[in-house]
Amino acid sequence: METHLLSLNAGSSSLKFAVFEPAAGWSPERLPTALLRGEIDRRDDHALLRYAAAGEAQRNIEPPALRGDIGAETAWLIGWLQRELGLAAPGIVAHRIVHGGLKHTRAVRIDARVETELRRLSSLAPLHQGPGLQGVRAARQALPGAVQVACFDTAFHAGHEDSERRYAVPRRWHERGYQRYGFHGLSFDAISRRLPALLGHRAEGCVVTAHLGSGASVCGMRALRSVSTSMGFTALDGLVMSTRCGSLDPGLLLRWMEHDKLSAKQISDMLYHESGLLGVSESSGDMRELLASSDPRARQAVDLFVASVVRHVGATAAAIGGLDALVFTGGIGTHQAPVRAAVAQRLGWMGVELDEAANTAGALLVSGCGSRVTVLALPTDEEAVMALQAIEACAGTQPATPRESAAENVLAQGRG
């Protein structure tokens, strides 16, 4: 398909993008190289666009004050790409959509029916699903001739066994879609495609990847496929995150409702927006700021984050039967050497040992020569995986996945 492709990755604090050339010669075994990639990073009312063409230095500009409106940011970005950089209008736009439910377990072209199904899942990923769909609508309006494709964060975990999928709740609720889904699948997919070249035969073994950023989760892989992951029904579960709580005793929710008379909205706002690093530190959900702070509350937040990562890496290694390699990725995992060092120190009993100089220098391979576990600090590339999946969706070449179930996804269909 001789057309440029635009990947749009709407996150909880940024809008990442990448432009790819026509897909002739692309291979699923190798991630394509972007012609141009960048990110609109939002902090309060301030935004900064960082971008770089392939092989060139990064440039920064300040876009208009769009106040975190993903639709407006998407429309502005598409216009800027064409107006300022002279790029031809892309024929395919790949969108990161966090939740696909049970029904959507691979990338799909977006029509009215698909968009309606995905909108019904918004309550399961309130920080991401709505913004992702805002991007779809804005891109459709700005590029009416382009094909819009949804690429799902839940899809990589589609083959999990029943013991990893179920909660111990009455069977009827499981059958209505109340199950563990897992997230950050595009990131884990990207990492899995790079591992054979970096690890050789060890890539087929037991690998735990820790995607650490504003959102954070751990994925355990065997034979480059997801076997276990820390997130569940929603993107609240698992690790401590920037503003999200991570794993929580459900009894707390009952107590807040029954004793403290908090409404569902109050609890939702607290757990999604006021908890995590921000809630503990009472100053910031940004790991960079916390590491630079002398406030003991900031230190507490960092320590709690590290303990959470250690706990879930250990549990995931147990679930997949060992630990041959540990991969750090995401904004924190790739760039914050002190966090990697603290996690590795506490995992020393598992054979994890870092090379201090390599870790501090931000090398790709950060494990020491005596480490029984290979440790990597590896940038992810969700946008490249989205490009591959979008091309496959448009060509109709996607393989069936184990999650494709005969049962209707009750959540996506809005029943019950």
Mention every residue, 6+ apart, whose C-beta is less than 8 A from residue 203. 195, 196, 224, 325
CA distance 97 to 194: 22
CA distance 99 to 377: 27
Task: Please identify which of the residues 153, 189, 237, 286 carries the catalytic annotation.
Answer: 153
Residue 320 C-alpha from the chain's centroid: 21
Give CA separation, 205 vs 13, 28, 142, 199, 220, in Å.
34, 20, 45, 10, 10
Q: Which of 314, 289, 165, 286 is nearest to 232 (CA)?
A: 165
CA distance 390 to 214: 25
Tokens representing 215 are 């959102």
To the query of whether residue 153 is one of the catalytic residues in this protein, the response is: yes
Tokens representing 414 are 């809005």
User: How, if at all, do strands 14-20 and 5-10 pair?
Assistant: antiparallel
Mention every residue, 6+ apart, whose C-beta is less than 8 A from residue 122. 129, 130, 133
Q: Max CA-CA distance within the chain? A: 61
CA distance 11 to 340: 23
CA distance 343 to 212: 12
Task: Compute the Cα dihedral for 10, 96, 211, 168 and give only its sign.
Answer: positive
Residues with a catalytic annotation lie at: 153
